[in-house]
Amino acid sequence: MAVKTFIEAIREALAEEMRRDETVIVLGEDVGRKGGVFLATDGLWAEFGDDRVIDTPLTESMIVGASIGASVNGLRPVAEIQFADFIHPAFNQIVSEAARMRYRSNNGFHVPIVIRAPYGGGVHGALYHSQSVEAFFCHVPGLKVVVPSTPYDAKGLLKAAIRDEDPVLFFEHKKMYRSVRGEVPDEEYTIPLGRASVAHPGNQITVVAYGLMVHYALDAADRVAEEGISVEVVDLRTLRPLDRETLLGSVRKTGKCLVVYEDNRFGGYGAEVAAIVADEAFDYLDGPVMRVAGPDVPAVPYNHVLEDWFMPNPEKIAAAVRTLAAY
């Protein structure tokens, strides 16, 4: 077992899947010779060549639309959108086409593609290199949405996503690419989509998070532990399909639930989590379902003071935990 960075785990998953299955191709902006702007695909072009590692024009709709077509004719494209902020030109292809192909053809066609995109703030990326876009896509039946938080999960989930028979959006927090390390087994493994994990066991408050926010929640859990508050951190890993069993199991045990997400608060993914907990675990709750989320401004501002103001962090999460613990 070796310790690897988050981005090394992504790169290994891609390379191993491309070696295992010759129908897997990678396409996107700068993914070839350069290896991607974050180097997630570094080395793939040298190993697999022009046919299977395709530098595309700056055409996000084409990246997804052509992936859809290639997938119905026998390939398994892994499309990279350079930043999640730039995925919106492909929205129609993702929502009207990829997500609906199986349903609208009554299982006649399906679209086994993965769309990878770096997301998230805290990296001085400002309004157009910091966004969290998962809520747009989690709303859409027919899509699967994965947001890993550890190198181990990233590798296992990406491999599962590539092997999945339906379109998967795979969001990677760019701040974690090199700052998060973890053990990754040498042997082959996958992690099934749709299963959350308990990242830290506890019994007084459930904190639900995904992506970078899992790390901040773990940090917050450590801080309040010194004050005698026991926090259970649930890492959702896959946002759609949601692992209701693990989520509700934890909340029924602790009786309190705090949802943490980096996206804008209003209508964010955490709102759905809160609604499900309210619907299905009401009898177990000892306090309101609370949220820590980004403020309702269009996106993350650039200046570091403003960026810090926008971003959820361990202090903000710990403060919310203390408030909830007081109920």
Partner 1 sequence: MAVTEGTSRIGDLGRWAGLSEADLLAMYRIVLLARALDERMWILNRAGRIPFVISGQGHEGAQVGVTWALQRGHDWIAPFYRSIATCLTFGMTAREIMLAQFAKANDPSSGGRQMPGHYGHPAHNILSVSSPVGTQILHAAGIALAAKLRRTGQVAMTFMGEGASNQGDVHEALNFVGIHKLPMILVVENNGYAISVPASRECAVEDVAVRAAGYNMPGVVVDGTDVVACYRVAREAVDRARRGEGGTFIEAKVTRLTAHSSDDQQTKYRSPEELEAQRARDPLPIFRRQLVEAGILTPEIEERLAAEIRAEVDDATAYAEAQPDPTPESGAWWVTAEDVPPGPAGSGAAPSGAVSGGVSSASGAVASGGALGAVGQS
Shortest Å, Cβ 162 to partner 1: 13
Q: Does 17 bind partner 1 (CB under 8 A)?
A: no
Q: Distance between CA 102 and CA 86 in Å, rounded?
A: 26
Q: Distance between CA 17 and CA 14 in Å, rounded?
A: 5
Q: Does 190 bind partner 1 (CB under 8 A)?
A: no
Q: Which residue lies nearer to partner 1 by CB, 51 or 186?
A: 51
Q: Which residue lies nearer to partner 1 by CB, 109 or 189?
A: 109
**Binding segment (CB under 8 A) for partner 1, from list 40-48, 71-79, 293-301, 309-317:** 71-79
Shortest Å, Cβ 145 to partner 1: 12
Residue 215 appears among annotated catalytic residues? no
Q: Does 245 bind partner 1 (CB under 8 A)?
A: no
Site for partner 1 in 92-121 (CB under 8 A): 92-93, 96-97, 100-110, 112
Catalytic residue among 129, 139, 173, 215: 129
Q: Pattern of binders to partner 1 over 133-172, x per CB under 8 A? A: --------xx-x-------------------xxx------
Instruction: Report the candidate in 179, 185, 161 with the shortest Cα–Cα distance to residue 171.
Output: 161
**Binding segment (CB under 8 A) for partner 1, from list 12-20, 66-74, 253-261, 273-281:** 66-74
Q: Does 70 bind partner 1 (CB under 8 A)?
A: yes
CA distances from 8 to 78, 120, 295 (A): 17, 19, 32
Residue 72: exposed, middle, or buried by beta-carbon count in 10 A (0-12, 13-18, 19+)?
A: middle
CA distances from 70 to 82, 111, 170, 232 (A): 20, 9, 19, 43
Q: Distance between CA 310 and CA 303 in Å, rounded?
A: 11
Instruction: Report the candidate in 133, 44, 121 with the shortest Cα–Cα distance to residue 85.
Output: 133
Q: Distance between CA 225 and CA 217 in Å, rounded?
A: 12
Binding site for partner 1 (CB under 8 A): 21-23, 25, 51-52, 56-57, 59, 61-62, 64-77, 89, 92-93, 96-97, 100-110, 112, 141-142, 144, 164-166, 241
